[in-house]
A = this chain, B = another copy of it.
Amino acid sequence: MTIAKALDALAPLLGERLSRSKSELAHHGRSESYFPQTEPDAVAYPETLAEVQALVKICAGHGCPMVGWGAGTSLEGHGLAVRGGVVVDFSRMNKVLEIRPADMDVTVQPGVTREALNEELRATGLFFPVDPGANASLGGMAMTRASGTTAVRYGTMRDNVLGMQVVLADGRVIRTGTRARKSSAGYDLTALMVGSEGTLGLVTELTLRLHGVPEATSAGICAFPDMHAAVTAVMETIQMGIPMARIEFVDAATARAFTAYSGMEMSEAPHLLVEFNGSPESVAQDAERFGEIVADHGASPFRWSAREEERRALWALRHNGYYAILASRKGARALVTDMCVPISQLAQAVEETQADIARGSIPGPILGHVGDGNFHAILLVDPDQPAEMEEAKRLSHRMAERALALGGTCTGEHGIGMGKLDYMEAEHGEGWDVMGQIKRALDPQNLMNPGKLVRQG
């Protein structure tokens, strides 16, 4: 039972698509975040379900860990082979298999990225809305239960994965879900797999829900005197049933970084960026009503537009937010946090976090998906100063504890991976043991992405 024997057995199956080259191992040992370089023993590039199944059976037979890899954009080290073994890179399983416009769904292979899917959908009048920022793979997005700017309207991966084909740890292949929009037929294995971070199996196919491209879109921006005013305005908007497609918060530090990066002038104050989808009449009406609400909370006049170029400029600003913030401190690396709390607790959560950051020595601009109660501090550390990374980790730790104290979760959309293992006990109590029982029932050898999500023995 050795990894070496597994690799010997995999070689004839995959030929050149089993790589042990230095550059491949280095690339698949990197994380987008602060985790140390952790290289696997080999990288496999399967092209078919049959190959994945054969690979899993060989690895299972030799006790060799298997770690799925999509686009490598995880922020919590999900793709790192911390116990060695094979990284299974799905970049060659990147086909859109079937688009069904009448059912507004699509079946894809896991290596398709969200941008590639939307490119393929362009002529159909449909789109896939989940948008975590990065051009992540859809398999990876499902496995981390990703979301992003549009979750307030279209939901997260939990809501937009209708079914999956999964190769389990013993090589069995299951299909979860059906193509019906709903079902009461037994345990919801689709929901169990979404967010399971590759610890229960490797996903080889996904059926996703699509949405109609809105006939019209309006988007705009306004500044607030403080965070409380911004959050209160968002709560009122939700309660009045005005359907926002995106509602993003940026704090004063982020506004300053945006101004420096883009040249678009923003006052150094908290802002909301908002978008409405619908008919030309409804998006105009929604924007007008939103403008009235925010005015009641002391906001600057709500500047909005239904013109595509202006909307694009606004969202380019938001999409480049991470890079704008990174550029605000020369040579910095980022530790990105991911608190999510009930919306009634959001203003307090942000304010306490800002105060905590202000007491320290490193900058940490904040931005987030205010409609979901989810926000990120981008903690900017000098990579040559280990003490700064330690300070960032302490800040991140206090943010996770603050999220739990306020009734929220330690991760809204980035996942557990290795980075959030320390909070699972506090967040789930004995529920974490239940997750471990499920893991052991389905992967008794602990070969599927070991070292992640469940309690480590």
Contact = CB atoms under 8 A, between A and B. Distances in A.
Interface in A278-331: 278-279, 281-282, 285
Contact of A413 (B182, B235, B374, B403): B182
A441 B440 CA distance: 9
Interface in A362-396: 372-374
B372 A184 contact: no
For the complex formed by this chain, how many copies does it contain in all? 2
Interface in A249-293: 277-279, 281-282, 285
B340 A180 contact: yes
Interface in A189-237: 189, 191-192, 194-196, 211-212, 214-215, 235
A269 B158 CA distance: 39
Most buried by B among A182, A185, A416: A185
Given A158-B191, A195-B188, A278-B241, A431 B175 contact: yes
Contact of A172 (B185, B239, B430): B430
Among the interface residues A158, A179, A429, which one has the most CB atoms of the partner chain B within 10 A?
A179
A270 B168 CA distance: 45
Interface residues of A, number: 93
A372 B181 contact: yes
A232 to B, nearest CB: 9
Contacts of A156: 182
A420 interface: yes
Nearest to A420: B185
A184 B441 contact: no
Interface of A: 100-105, 125, 144-147, 151, 156, 158-159, 168, 172-176, 178-189, 191-192, 194-196, 211-212, 214-215, 235, 238-241, 277-279, 281-282, 285, 338, 340-344, 372-374, 403-404, 407-416, 420, 423-424, 427-435, 437-438, 440-442, 453-454
Name the 6 nearest CB pairs between A and B, nearest first. Answer: A191-B191, A183-B409, A441-B441, A102-B344, A179-B407, A180-B408
